[in-house]
């Protein structure tokens, strides 16, 4: 039985930030992993015994997440290899490209307090793209805050303030 759903369309304007670095693709990927602690235990696929989050107190959860963060304050969730398969379709000119999903639930909670739909935008995604002629890489990041709270202008400032901590952390990664 099909659901009869009617979408509510909320238009927004976003910003894409591109950081360019002369570092190699391999250096940048290695640094990103070091900064985000790839040995952390992500939410979706725990790789070692853990106490389920639902059974934790708030203090235990904060302690657990704090132990999982890397030096950047973000924790590693996942990475996707794009370069190899898009090159099969003659896209990318043989350059390497990876998408990383990184975040910090302790930052996210401040954003989600203002709009639970922001869960669509956290954790954040970073695209590392190799440049032509070994000139370095681009790290591309979509600023998520413009998509938040379109119907609550009175809370917009609170959400933007919560997101302000992301940009400096992304540029340090």
Domains with residue ranges and CATH for the chain: 15-42+50-172 (3.30.310.70)
pLDDT above 60 (res 43): no
Angle, in degrees to the nearest 10, between helices 105-112 and 153-163: 170
Kindly report which listed range (7-16, 23-32, 63-72, 128-137) carries the lowest average pLDDT score.
7-16
Four-CA torsion 118, 129, 66, 143, nearest 10 degrees: -30
pLDDT value at residue 153: 55
State yes or no: cis peptide before 7, omega within 30 of 0. Answer: no
> What's the predicted TM-score (pTM) here?
0.80
What is the CA angle 127-37-97, rounded to 5? 20
Give me the sign of the Cα torsion angle 73, 79, 84, 85: negative
């Amino acid at each position: 039985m099909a659901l009869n759903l009617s979408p509510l369309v909320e238009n927004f304007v976003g910003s894409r930030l591109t950081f360019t670095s002369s570092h190699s693709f391999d250096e940048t990927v290695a640094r990103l992993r070091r900064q985000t602690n790839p040995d952390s235990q992500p939410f979706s696929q725990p790789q070692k015994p853990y106490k389920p989050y639902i059974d934790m107190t708030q203090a235990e959860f904060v302690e657990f997440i704090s132990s999982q963060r890397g030096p950047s304050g973000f924790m590693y969730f996942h990475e996707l290899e794009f370069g190899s398969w898009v090159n099969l379709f003659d896209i990318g000119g043989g350059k390497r490209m990876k998408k990383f999903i990184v975040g910090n639930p302790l930052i996210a909670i401040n954003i989600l307090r203002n709009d639970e739909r922001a869960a669509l935008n956290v954790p954040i995604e970073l695209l590392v793209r190799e440049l032509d002629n070994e000139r370095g890489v681009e790290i591309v990041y979509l600023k998520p805050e413009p998509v938040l709270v379109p119907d609550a202008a009175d809370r917009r400032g609170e959400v933007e303030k919560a997101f302000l901590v992301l940009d400096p952390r992304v540029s340090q990664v």
